[in-house]
Structure formats: structure tokens, C-alpha cells
Amino acid sequence: MKEKDESLEVPYLEETMPHQINSPSFKGSNMKMQPPFVNEHGIVIGDSKYNSEESPLNNWSDDVDPAVMAGDQWVHPTNDIGWNSTENKELIEKSKKPQGVPFTHPDKDVSYGRD
């Protein structure tokens, strides 16, 4: 089993995953990109390579119980294909602070009655 390696390659740049064409940007949201981690089975999760020698997928047989690959230890909190869905992208966007429009006030409509 691998020990946690602090030198794991980080697959994101400026709070986004450029290797995934539809990946959302976490920049400005309340979520921070998380680095890859090694799960309890010695598999690197979140490096976007999806190919560890120790992975049950690379050592499959009739004796492998598929349930061994179920659970949170197989899901990366920010580098997961699920973030590319419309619903999850909306969750990220809703957590971002509004950038505002020039010449506006957060609680006053200064343009009311001016047009």
C-alpha cells in the first residue's frame, strides 16, 4: 500500500481543470480545489490518470467484489466528472460572490424611474 505522497501531481490550474473541456471553474467560489489523495486501498484519487497499478480495475477477476469500489474513498471532492453536469456547475456558480455591474448599489436600484 502506498503512503501519502506530498509530491502527487496536481491536475488543476487556477482553480479549474483545463484537461476537462467542460470543467467548471471553482475560482471565486466557496469551494477550493483539493489535491489528489491516496485512498485506503493505496489508489491515487483525483490525479485524472485513473490508472493505479493497485486498482481493482487493473486486477479484476471473478474473485473481486465490485462493492470494494463503492464509497466516498473513491470520489475526489473537486476533481470528479460529476462537476461537469449542469446542476453541479450551477451549485458552484451560486456560491460565487456577485461581481456586480458598474454604477450599481447592492440594495438600491439607482436606475429606477430614469428611463
pLDDT in tens, 30-43: 888 888 899 988 88
4, 20, 39, 89, 104 from 82: Cα distances, Å: 25, 12, 19, 9, 35
79 neighbors 46 (Cβ within 8 angstroms): yes
Across 82-91, average pLDDT: 89
Per-residue DSSP letter, 25: B
Sign for the pseudo-dihedral over CA of 25, 12, 15, 50: positive
61 neighbors 72 (Cβ within 8 angstroms): no
- Per residue in 57-81, pLDDT tens? 888 899 988 888 889 999 888 888 8
Burial class, 33, CB count within 10 angstroms (exposed 0-12 / middle 13-18 / buried 19+):
buried
Question: Strand runs (DSSP E) across 3-87, as ranges?
Answer: 37-38, 44-45
Nearest to 34 by CA among 20, 21, 48: 48
1, 16, 51, 105, 110 from 40: Cα distances, Å: 8, 26, 16, 50, 57
